[in-house]
Structure 1
Amino acid sequence: MTSSTFIRQSGLASMLGGILFAAKMWYDRNDGPPWPTDITDTLIFVVPLLWLVGLTGLYARCKERSGGLGLLGFGVASTGAAMAVVGPLAMSLFDNDGLWFVLVLGLIILFTGLIITGIATIRAKALLGWSAALPLIIGTLGLLMFFANPDDPRLSVDMVSLLRSVRMISTMLFGAVWIVLGYTLWSEPSAAAVQAKPSVT
């Protein structure tokens, strides 16, 4: 498989991950403590696995221009994605809900890594135009989605309603931007392809 083919396929993985994540969050939109579980919670590991493929393709697309900061961002983000894959699998395998923290911590690390990656791609202009900001947008939305917690019992009814709206909007946007990033990887030529394209004189 050539590098450009893998990058395009990683874009499809990113798009599918964004779609599945948004669908899962919409499915769970009315859930609350004590957080009932079903088969979708067991299979949620598929989503960060798809993101991990997408991140690998993103790094392959940008590594020649994103430098050390890009490598750092990819390392942090991919570590977080891997933890988010392992968490649900370990919970299912060992029947231990206490391992949920592995998923939670992994997501926070993933979002942080995406912000670092986004800064690197913006600085290096490693993606075309505004698409260089997509990893930064995804990471920021992820943290917003994560910390907009409507389940704190100390909150007023109005604040709970507001935070539920913020979380749902940021969740849908989070999934949508993954789809946009995936489409960017699927449709943009790689740096090598651009360099190899003969100039017109």
Structure 2
Amino acid sequence: MTGWPKFLFFTLIVRPLVLVVLGLNIRHRERLPGAGPSIVVANHNSHLDTLVLMSLFPLGQLHRLRPVAAADYFMRNPLLAWFATRVIGIIPIRRNNQNNHQDPLAPVHAALERGDIVIIFPEGTRGEPERMQQFKSGIIHLAKAHATAPITPVFLHGLGKALPRGEGLLVPFFCDVFVGPPLHWTGDRHQLMQQLTQQMERLAAEKGDAAWD
């Protein structure tokens, strides 16, 4: 069972925020993974992205949801580190890993081996609102090492305008979430990246947008 701080935060704050203030529209919600190990891949424009994605799952699954996030940002002071790890449940990853003998994705591998649902933003950082950047190769390493774990693409729209990068004030803005069918590792890294790109383009097209910058 998930910890009380996390349960109360998502029940009393996140869910009302997402449902009432943002007016979230979700398409193909049934495609979200019902259990782990699994990988959810999404574009990244705002700190709201993680909270919105986690709010789509039943409260009983909160303890299994593990978003991957940058250690240099979320672990920079004790209070933020406590909130990020104990309430949100992030897996902190060092983006500029100086130790060549240590796999920076080791904590993510461990989470998948425990049967968790990992949320990852392969762009690596928040970009400009509603402009997607090319995915980095970390998703390939995870898919290859956990070949049985489904990879569910999710396209988020509007969150970069509701809470843009560098802004601290939430602007009510109608937001959309489009969930794609799960993909699986087939042994070909180029094929998987192509499939992810095509899925994101299809999901963006449902909104009438172009996915890639």
TM over 0.5: no
TM bin, normalised by shorter chain, reads: under 0.3
- Larger helix proportion of the pair: 1
- Larger strand proportion of the pair: 2
